[in-house]
Structure 1
Amino acid sequence: MGISIIGLGEVGRCYAQALRTAGLALEDAVESRPSSPALSLVREEGIRLHDSNGPWLSRSDIVISAVTGEVALSVARSAFPFLSPGAVYADFTTARPDDMRLAAKEAQDRGILFVDVAIMGGITLAGAQTPLLCAGDGAERLAEALAPLGGRIRVLADGAPGDAVTLKLLRSIFVKGMEALAVECLTLAQSAGLKAKLYDNLVDVDEAHLPDFLDMLVRTHVIHAARRLHEVESAEAQLEAAGFSPLVTAGVKATFDRSRKAVEGRVIKPDITVAEALEILIDSARTDLESKPAA
């Protein structure tokens, strides 16, 4: 089984090294402007280096694209004419979901199997052991081929190209949002000498089942948005009084204010479902977006 890699940045080099270490047949790589680490890698491992995609790709059963997201679609289009029908094209980039879907459609038209691969973590820390989330008609074949690397590969059941990268971006919103919130909250807690007591006060959150907790937050959000907005305003004032700039809390306040306006005049049932609550919130977010003047 022949494997090629397009792009020898950090991700490309990581997987190139892991594939060679695992004894897999990585023979070709593409990099138009190879860095010193890339040049060292291809010399040490005996990998043929090309400056662009070409007919040599026809001997590859699997092609891994590890370029940047903004050029992922154009790179895929330049590779597809050279791939043999039945080959797997695995896009490891953080491309736009629409670009993933478009590339997958064009691959399908040529009989090429496409995989949207989301790297779910920091490649610098775990290397090829970093969990991968895969979607597309070539996902199972890719997972089987990369199994010798020892990483955790999850194939999305009924997942379509674009789903994996969308989930990665959604996870990023959640985790990076939590990170920013933790920074804002803990700086005040530490300065007030209350960090340990704050953790004690969050024990109910720690013990909650995360999906149930998130559903509860969304469902009760539309019921109590106005009252909770006042709590957020008080928290913002406390941060400002302590000399901190409440960047995250300001965004939280804006979200609660938008929700307050969305439910104003509505009769909200105490037993509103998560789906019903989300429909209200989706409508308010879209209205807010569409009301903004074009850039």
Structure 2
Amino acid sequence: MIIGLIGFGKVSQTLVNLIKSDDIEFLTSKENRSKSTIEAIDELNVGLASTFDEVAKLSDILISATSPKSALNIARKYGKLSNGIYLDLNNISPETTLEINKCVDNLVDGAIIGKIDSNNPTLYVSGHSAQELLFLGEFLNIKLISENVGDAAILKLLRSSYTKTLTALLIESFEIAKRNNLENEFFDVISITEGSDFKDKSLSRIRNTLNNPKRKSEELQEMISYFDDENLIMVKAALEKFSQL
């Protein structure tokens, strides 16, 4: 079996490291790659094709893990060349997923939950052909949601809205605690119910959000836009908080 990779960032590198089998060959291309990406490809000893067109045509499973902005164009360019499963792992909206479904046969909608570079990430999949990917459970956690393309994207969006809304409240509470010189006690009292690693996880979330408020706001706006008929009071409040950061 050949698994083709369009994009060779953390997602693809992690999959290459996790999926080890004599029956599986990874294939990519150095076409228009950066120097650092070529070095990563060489280091992992991934099979090479001269072009991405060739990668798409030869692959039994073609994985798109590039960027949300380029996901649709990548699907239009290479998805139509694929005769196997097209697995999209980009952080895209359900709307974009459905657009990709119009131009790609055998689309599987995928969402990686948790840190992608962890030893055992969880991959949620949905789509008519998603069941054919369950063999990957030998190498990582994989959860089949349904045969409906877009369900994985909706779950990904819902999880994102939950964590970001929670982070907005966390930032607000932490700011008040700091102004009252109670930041350590703030984490201590919440850790009683939330676990001993609450402080480390919370500070990591806060730093990440403060470093990327615009991107976090865009993701919440995407949520509000897609579920415009829902009463998203908390999500809108989180968006207002992020706009002040």
**TM-score, normalised with respect to structure 2:** 0.68
2:189 counterpart of 1:192: no
Aligned to 1:175: 163
Higher relative CO (Cα under 8 Å, sequence separation at least 6) belongs to 2
Superposed CA offset, 1:259-295 (max 9, x none): xxxxxxxxxxxxxxxxxxxx88369x99xxxxxxxxx
Quick one: distance in 2 between partners of 1:9 and 1:177?
Answer: 28
Aligned partner letter, 1:17: N
Instruction: In structure 1, list runs of 5 or more residues that go unmatched.
Output: 207-246, 248-278, 287-295
Maintained 8 Å contact 2:68/2:92: yes
Q: Shift of residue 91 of structure 1?
A: 0.2
Maintained 8 Å contact 1:65/1:89: yes
Aligned to 2:225: none
Aligned to 1:140: 131
Selected match of 2:96 from 91, 94, 99: 99
Q: Shift of residue 115 of structure 1?
A: 0.7
User: 1:55-94 counterparts in 2 under 5 A?
Assistant: 56-84=55-83, 87-94=84-91
Q: Shift of residue 22 of structure 1?
A: 4.0
Quick one: distance in 2 between partners of 1:41 and 1:198?
Answer: 42
Quick one: distance in 1 between partners of 2:67 and 2:50?
Answer: 18
Alpha-carbon spacing, 1:6–1:30, altered in 2? closer, same or farther (3 Å): farther
- Computed over aligned residues only, the root mean square deviation of the Cα atoms, in angstroms, reads 3.4
Superposed CA offset, 1:130-182 (max 9, x none): 111111112111222x2232x211111x3522221222122111112212321
Quick one: distance in 1 between partners of 2:47 and 2:156?
Answer: 31
Aligned to 2:222: none
Larger gyration radius, structure 1 or structure 2: 1
Aligned partner letter, 2:126: A
Maintained 8 Å contact 1:114/1:136: yes
Maintained 8 Å contact 1:30/1:53: no
Aligned to 1:118: 111
2:144 counterpart of 1:152: no
Maintained 8 Å contact 1:2/1:26: yes
Alpha-carbon spacing, 1:22–1:193, altered in 2? closer, same or farther (3 Å): farther
Superposed CA offset, 1:235-272 (max 9, x none): xxxxxxxxxxxx9xxxxxxxxxxxxxxxxxxxxxxxxx
Q: Secondary structure at the match of 1:70?
A: coil
Alpha-carbon spacing, 1:203–1:24, altered in 2? closer, same or farther (3 Å): same
Q: Secondary structure at the match of 1:185?
A: helix
The total of aligned residue pairs comes to 202
Q: Shift of residue 197 of structure 1?
A: 6.9
Quick one: distance in 1 between partners of 2:122 and 2:16?
Answer: 17
Quick one: distance in 2 between partners of 1:281 and 1:57?
Answer: 42
Aligned partner letter, 1:281: N
Alpha-carbon spacing, 1:202–1:15, altered in 2? closer, same or farther (3 Å): closer
Q: Secondary structure at the match of 1:281?
A: coil
Q: Secondary structure at the match of 1:58?
A: helix
Aligned partner letter, 1:160: N
Alpha-carbon spacing, 1:80–1:192, altered in 2? closer, same or farther (3 Å): closer
Alpha-carbon spacing, 1:280–1:104, altered in 2? closer, same or farther (3 Å): closer
| Percentage of matched positions with identical amino acids | 25
Aligned to 1:162: 150
Selected match of 1:281 from 221, 228, 231: 231
Alpha-carbon spacing, 1:282–1:18, altered in 2? closer, same or farther (3 Å): closer
Selected match of 2:122 from 123, 127, 131: 131
Alpha-carbon spacing, 1:198–1:15, altered in 2? closer, same or farther (3 Å): closer
Aligned to 2:221: none
Alpha-carbon spacing, 1:37–1:16, altered in 2? closer, same or farther (3 Å): farther
Quick one: distance in 1 between partners of 2:130 and 2:100?
Answer: 15
Aligned partner letter, 1:186: F
Aligned partner letter, 1:152: N
